[in-house]
Structure 1
Amino acid sequence: MDSSIYLSLFAGKHILIVEDEYFLADETRQKLEQLGSTVIGPAANVQDALELLTTSEIDGAILDVHLGDEFVFPVAERLDEANIPFVFATGYDASVIPAKFSGFTLCEKPTELGKIASALFSAGNGAALN
């Protein structure tokens, strides 16, 4: 199925982007805004992302796994606790993801927003995320 049909699911959503590569984060931000999303961030590190979680409304998140010299897993834990759907976006192998997050969607970079929208917000797929 063509995942681009899911792009409209981003409309009106507040999406947290956690990505340390500026150009990739900015490109994703621009695409999401064109689809009608409000972008939270992008945050380039765990501390900034955790701060945004406490100060912003968030409907879903796109998380780069490796942020400089740290991993994004504390952010994933907080999102999971709050029942906010998220996806991991990474160029790394899935083996770097802790087993406790094995039910969450992993998208390879560059991110395909249609697949992400489906994973975050479509009926049936969202339940598998949390």
Structure 2
Amino acid sequence: MNAAFSRTGKLRILVVEDEALVAMHLEDTLHALGHEVVATASRLPEALEAARTATFDAAIIDVNLDGQHSYDVADVLNERRIPFAFATGYGAAGLQERFRNTPTLAKPFMSSDLERILAQALGAGRAD
């Protein structure tokens, strides 16, 4: 499990989501759970930049960013050994085969769903 999470319970989270209302809901829910959103990216180029350079403990990644898949972001996070979960309305079955075991937050979601998925992402390490 992530050392920052086990010590304080507070995580620094990257949110990658192209729908403004969903991004705001994620941010509000993460804050309510006691976490900090360090960055929100809504398009693939900015998501890749944040994934490569920002300092955070975990990420929530929308699978589809304005018609582009976010798997390159997931690859960067895997390389950096940063836990993440996908967020999608299609479920894990809609993911590329190599990511089928990655924790996946089904949209729409409740606070308890997000909390559970974050715990899975942190506990799972990197599952490809």
Moved more, 43-52 or 9-18: 9-18
SS at match of 2:82: coil
For 1:118, the aligned partner's letter is: A
Check if 1:50 corresponds to 2:51.
no
Q: Give the one of 80, 90, 107 matched to 1:82.
A: 80
Kindly indicate whether the alpha-carbon contact (under 8 Å) linking 1:40 and 1:52 is maintained by their aligned counterparts in 2.
no
Q: Give the one of 56, 70, 73 matched to 1:72.
A: 70
The 5 A counterparts of 1:16-31 are 16-31=14-29
Using the TM superposition, give the Cα deviation of residue 77 of structure 1 relative to its aligned residue in structure 2, in angstroms. 0.6
SS at match of 1:27: helix
Check if 1:114 corresponds to 2:115.
yes
CA-to-aligned-CA distance 1:108-127 (integer Å, 9 cap, x gap): 10232122222123xxx324
SS at match of 2:15: strand
How many aligned positions are there? Answer: 120
User: RMSD over aligned Cα, in angstroms?
Assistant: 2.1
Using the TM superposition, give the Cα deviation of residue 41 of structure 1 relative to its aligned residue in structure 2, in angstroms. 2.3
Kindly indicate whether the alpha-carbon contact (under 8 Å) linking 2:85 and 2:118 is maintained by their aligned counterparts in 1.
no
Give the gaps of 5 or more residues in structure 2: none
Q: Which residue of 2 aligns with 1:5?
A: none
Kindly indicate whether the alpha-carbon contact (under 8 Å) linking 2:86 and 2:102 is maintained by their aligned counterparts in 1.
yes
SS at match of 1:12: coil
SS at match of 1:63: strand
Give the gaps of 5 or more residues in structure 1: 1-7
Percent of aligned positions with the same letter in both sequences? Answer: 33
Higher RCO (CA 8 Å, separation ≥ 6 residues): 1
TM-score, scaled to structure 1: 0.80
For 1:107 and 1:31, locate their aligned partners in 2 and report how far apart those are by CA, in whole Å. Answer: 13
Q: Which residue of 2 aligns with 1:105?
A: 103
